[in-house]
Structure 1
Amino acid sequence: MTRASLILLAAGGSLALLAGAFVFQALGYAPCAMCLWQRWPHAAAIAIGVLALALRGPALPLLGALAALTTAGIGIYHTGVERDWWEGPTSCTGSGLGGLAGGDLLATDGPRLVMCDQVSWELLTLSMPSWNALFSLALVCVWLLAARRA
C-alpha cells in the first residue's frame, strides 16, 4: 500500500470508530466521561490524516500513531475500571458518593450520570472501550507503516 492509502486507512479507521460511537449514542447508549475522552484522539487523528495527505515526511504519521495510542491507552484504562482491575476517577465512578445519603441522590434534578465503571454494552465479552483499544492498536500499526513510507 502507498503512504497515502495507509493514511486514508488510518484516518478513516478513526472516523469509523468515532462515527460508531455517535451511532451508539443515538441509539440511547449515553457516553460516560471516559468514553468522551476516547473520542478526542480520534478527532485529532482525522485532522492529522488530512494534513498528512498534504504534507510529506514521517512527522504527521508518527503524530497520528501517538493519537491512536492515546485513545487505545484510555480504552485499556477504561476497560480496567469496568472490570474492577483498578480504581477509576471518582468523578465518574460510584466511589465518590460515600458522603451522600440516598435521599440526597434522589433529590437531584440533574441529568442522569453515566458511570465509567458500568459496562453498558458487550460483544464477545468485550465492552466498547475494549473494542476501541483493540482497533486503535491496529491503527497505531497502520500509522507506523505510513511513517515508514514517508
Structure 2
Amino acid sequence: MDQRIARLIEPRNAVIAALAASGLLIVGAHLFERVGGMPPCLLCLDQREAHWAAIAGAVMTLGLVAAFGKVDRILAAALGAICLLYVFSTGLAGYHAGVEWGFWEGPKQCSAVGNIDTTAISSGDFLSELERPAEGPSCSEAAWRMLGISMAGYNALISLALAMITGFSCMRIAKGLRQDRLTGPAVTEGSHG
C-alpha cells in the first residue's frame, strides 16, 4: 500500500481528513451560494446536513481522543459512524446527480416555483401556502458543471472517497482490537493469570 494512503487511513489522520474535507465542502457550498449567486435547491441543502453531521462527529471524536488518550474503541465506533454518514452522503449526492441528468425524477418539493407575495396572503390561506413547494431552484437543473460533472456529482465522488478512508481506518482499528482479544494480555514471567 502506498505510504501516503497508509498515513491517511491512520485513525487520527482519517478523522482530521473527514473534518477538513467536510469543512471545505461546506465553505465551498456557501461561497457558491453567497459569492457566486447560486442558491441551493432542497437536495443541495440536504447534502450539506450530512457534512455538518460528519464535522460534528469528527470534532467530538478529536475531543474524546484529546481527553482520554488512546481510545481505540471510541475511534473505531466514531470512524464507523462517520463512514456511514459518508455512505449516506454518497447515495444522496448520487441521487441528486441522477436527477440533474434526468435519469429519474426528483422529489415533488424540489421544483422551482415563483416568488410568493407574502403581503397578499390572508390568515386563512397561510396553511395552504405552507403546503406549496419551497422556493428555490429546481433540483433537476445543475447550477454549475466542471468537466461535465455538477456539484452534486463532485460531492458524490468526494463522499465516496471519504467513506473509503474512514471505512478502511475503522477496519484497521477493528483488526487491531480483534488481534488484542485473540492474543490476550501479555503474560510476563512470574505472573500468574
Offset from partner CA, 1:44-94 (integer Å, 9 cap, x none): 101111222225321110100011111111111001111110011011136
Structure 1 letter corresponding to 2:47:
Q
> Please, which of 19, 22, 41 is the counterpart of residue 27 of structure 2?
19
Query: Secondary structure of the residue that 2:108 maps to in structure 1?
Result: coil
Measure, in 1, the Cα distance between the counterparts of 2:26 and 2:96.
Answer: 17
Number of aligned pairs? 140
Post-superposition offset of 1:22: 0.8
The residue number in structure 1 matching 2:42 is 33
The residue number in structure 1 matching 2:108 is 90
Does the CA contact (< 8 Å) of 2:42 and 2:136 recur in 1?
A: no
The residue number in structure 2 matching 1:102 is none
Matches within 5 A, 1:112-131: 113-131=136-154
Greater relative contact order (CA < 8 Å, ≥ 6 in sequence): 1
TM-score, normalised to structure 1, is 0.85
In the alignment, structure 1 residue 79 sits paired with structure 2 residue 94: no
> Which blocks of at least 5 consecutive residues in structure 1 are unaligned?
98-104
Query: Secondary structure of the residue that 2:110 maps to in structure 1?
Result: coil
In the alignment, structure 1 residue 147 sits paired with structure 2 residue 155: no
Post-superposition offset of 1:112: 5.4
The residue number in structure 1 matching 2:191 is none
Structure 1 letter corresponding to 2:25:
L
The residue number in structure 2 matching 1:10 is 18
> Please, which of 71, 77, 84 is the counterpart of residue 66 of structure 1?
84
Structure 2 letter corresponding to 1:132:
N
Percent same amino acid at aligned positions?
34
> Please, which of 33, 40, 53 is the counterpart of residue 44 of structure 1?
53
Change (3 A) 1:112 1:87: closer
Measure, in 1, the Cα distance between the counterparts of 2:19 and 2:137.
Answer: 29
In the alignment, structure 1 residue 133 sits paired with structure 2 residue 142: no
Does the CA contact (< 8 Å) of 1:33 and 1:116 recur in 2?
A: yes
Query: Secondary structure of the residue that 1:64 maps to in structure 2?
Result: helix
> Which blocks of at least 5 consecutive residues in structure 2 are unaligned?
1-6, 66-70, 119-133, 174-193
Query: Secondary structure of the residue that 1:91 maps to in structure 2?
Result: helix
TM-score, normalised to structure 2, is 0.67
RMSD: 1.9
